[in-house]
Amino acid sequence: MTIYTLDNLKRSIWALASLFIPILTYGDSRPNIVLIISDDQGWTDYGFMGHPEVQTPHLDRLASQSILFERGYAASPLCRPSLASIATGLFPSKHGATGNDVFGYDNRAARDVAVQKGFHKHSSIIRALVESGYLAHQSGKWWEGSWKDGGFTHGMTHGDPSRKGRHGDEGLVIGREGLEPITNFIDSALSQAKPFFVWYAPFLPHTPHNPPER
């Protein structure tokens, strides 16, 4: 079994940053937007936040060149509500996704339909950008159906319960098995001289993981 570590996330994020920095002003004058959302990573789990053990040199460098918000708060301690709040700008009580699975796993898909419909009634950063001419790519964690359901123009998650779709399915390989879907998307956006939005929410550094070698 392949073991994935925090290093996978660090390498993936730095690779993405290296790709995006040179092309922020290519073609359309509007900026390209890359949203990087790690999974199960506490706010102290970075070198630039003073963690005594976790080493994140590439992220430290990125942070040193950026505006750092040290008092940001998650809308929920759970994955799905937090992602839905990032997408909509609403509290979970407003967008309706207040937990990961509705009433547990029994009949989850059928019970989840109402939650997804409620979520999709709200405006989102994805739809707003696409409506203004952006291309938008989804990869990684996504609970609200397929990438098409979410308003993306491109993506990886099918969200079909009959094919074990739940919280990202085919999109969860991103970062663990390379970044080719994203790089192909960027190439396509550049060839069209279109601004782009990337939702990169890898299943990292979520388990499985291992401690650094001593």
What digits encode the pLDDT tens for the residues 138-152?
999 999 999 999 999
| Contact between residue 135 and residue 154 where contact means Cβ atoms under 8 Å apart | yes
Average pLDDT over residues 87-101: 96
User: What is the pLDDT averaged over residues 123-130?
Assistant: 98
Residue 209 within a domain: no
pLDDT tens by residue, 42-91: 899 999 999 999 999 999 999 999 999 888 889 999 999 999 999 999 99
User: Does any domain span residue 170?
Assistant: yes
Residue 174 belongs to some domain of the structure:
yes
Structure tokens at 113: 């339909």
Give the per-residue pLDDT at 13: 57
7: tokens are 């290093």
Would you say residue 154 lies in a domain? Answer: yes
pLDDT at residue number 2: 37
3-class secondary structure, 21: helix
Tell me, yes or no, whether 118 lies in a domain: no
* pTM metric for this prediction: 0.84
pLDDT value for 18: 53
Check residue 27 and give its pLDDT: 57
Q: At what angle do helices 6-20 and 180-191 cross, to 10 degrees?
A: 10
Percent of the chain with pLDDT over 90: 70
pLDDT at 3: 42
Nearest to 121 by CA among 153, 101, 151: 151
Q: Find the domain containing 38 and state its range.
A: 6-64+133-185+194-201
Whether 15 shows a pLDDT value over 60: the answer reads no
How does pLDDT run across 151-198, given as a tens digit for each residue?
999 999 999 999 999 999 999 999 989 999 999 999 999 999 999 999
Q: Is residue 38 part of a domain?
A: yes
Residues whose CB is less than 8 angstroms from the CB of residue 109 and which lie 6 or more positions away in sequence, other chains included: 161
Note whether 175 and 8 are within 8 A (CB): yes
Q: Is residue 49 part of a domain?
A: yes
Are 24 and 189 in contact by the 8 Å Cβ rule? The answer is: no
Total of domains in the chain: 1
In a domain, 124, yes or no: no
pLDDT above 80 for 208: no
Could you identify the residue written with the tokens 């990438």?
A: 147
Query: Is the CB of residue 133 less than 8 Å from the CB of residue 158?
Result: no
